[in-house]
Structures are given as structure tokens and as C-alpha cells.
Amino acid sequence: MTEQKMSAEQEETMIEAQKSIFQNDYIKNIALSKVGGQNDRYGSFGKEIFENSYLQTASKAPNQVAYEALFGEAVLGEGSVTKEQLKTNAMNFWSSSIPYQNVNDLANKMEYSGQIDSKYSGKALGELEEKDQKMILSSYLQYEVTGLMKTGLESEQKNISGGLEKFLAPTKKDSKESK
């Protein structure tokens, strides 16, 4: 069997589809809930944050890109998608889109503002040597998982503050007595 080469138009269409999957927050957040949940770095509290992120994301209706990527096969096959399958599908789709991303764009997403060596600059991650791909991919995934963790911690902080506010705020009875 001979391998068919894609036309420039087909390649551009595929790259755009991969960018669309990569930029899709629904797919990304479910994928990161799996990636982060597989790591004991943040302990049980981290696992809880990743699970909450999954639940918050999965409880919303996906957009067309996410729906087709994550649910299309199950719908067409008259099957169903379990929570673990959904996480795995999201991780597979999202992570398979990363090699198509420009190294400069990934660096910007990680708030890197320094110069980028010409052997990386302007190239898609998948064009680099395997060891360089792994280094950048690992850094990017750590950055995203840490960002998800940060969001979860900020949410937890607001919940604590809100609970304290309810506890400390004067009741109607107290406010009448102080007048």
C-alpha cells in the first residue's frame, strides 16, 4: 500500500482542524482533568480540583467541534460514552493536536517572553526532534495543569471567603439593635 501525500489545501484544512481542537476549552479542560488526575503531585485535593473541573465542563453543552470529536462515534454507533472514555477521548484528541501548534504560540501561552532559538522559532512542535518535542510538550502540559490547579484554588479561596462572609455578616436582628 502506498502512502498518499496530502495536497497543500488538504494539509491546511487538517492543520486548521487541529488548531480548532487545540483551542477548544471544552476538550482541553476534560483532557487536563485526566492528565492532572493521573498525577499525585497535588494529592487528594488536586484530584478533587481536577474532578470538579471535569464536572463543571462536562455539565455544559459542548460546541460543535467538541461534540463531533468526543461524541460523534458513540452517536453514530448507537453507543454511549462513559466518563472515563470521555476523558480519554478528550486527552487523545487534544494531545494529538499539540504537535501541529507553533512553538512560538506555545511559548506565548506559557507567558515566555524571551528570545526563541531559530531551530525552534516558527516551527510546529511536530517538526522538532523527538527529545525537543518531549521537553516542550512536558513543559506545556505542566503549565496547563498548574493553571487548572490555580483556578481551582482561587475558586476554593472564594468559597472560603463567601462562607466566612455569611458567618460574620450581621443578621437582620443585629442590624436593628445597632440603630
pLDDT value of residue 3? 59
User: Which residues are CB-contacts of 14 (< 8 A; sequence separation ≥ 6)?
Assistant: 6, 100
Which pLDDT does position 72 carry in this prediction? 72
Sorted by sequence, the CB contacts under 8 Å of residue 67 that are 6+ apart come out as none
Residue 13 burial (CB count, 10 A)? 12
pTM for the model stands at: 0.78
- What integer best gives the mean pLDDT of the chain? 87
Q: How confident is the model at residue 61 (pLDDT cuts 50, 70, 90)?
A: confident
41 against 178, higher pLDDT: 41
Return the C-alpha cell found at 18: 487541529
Matching residue, cell 511536530:
126
Report d(CA 94, CA 20) in Å as an integer: 10
Stretch 92-121: mean pLDDT, rounded?
Answer: 94
136-159 average pLDDT score = 91
User: What ranges do the domains of the chain cover?
Assistant: 8-162
Give how far Cα 134 sits from Cα of 13, 94, 98, Å. Answer: 25, 16, 11
pLDDT of 19-46, one tens digit each? 999 999 999 999 999 988 887 788 888 8
Question: Residue 171 has what pLDDT?
Answer: 81
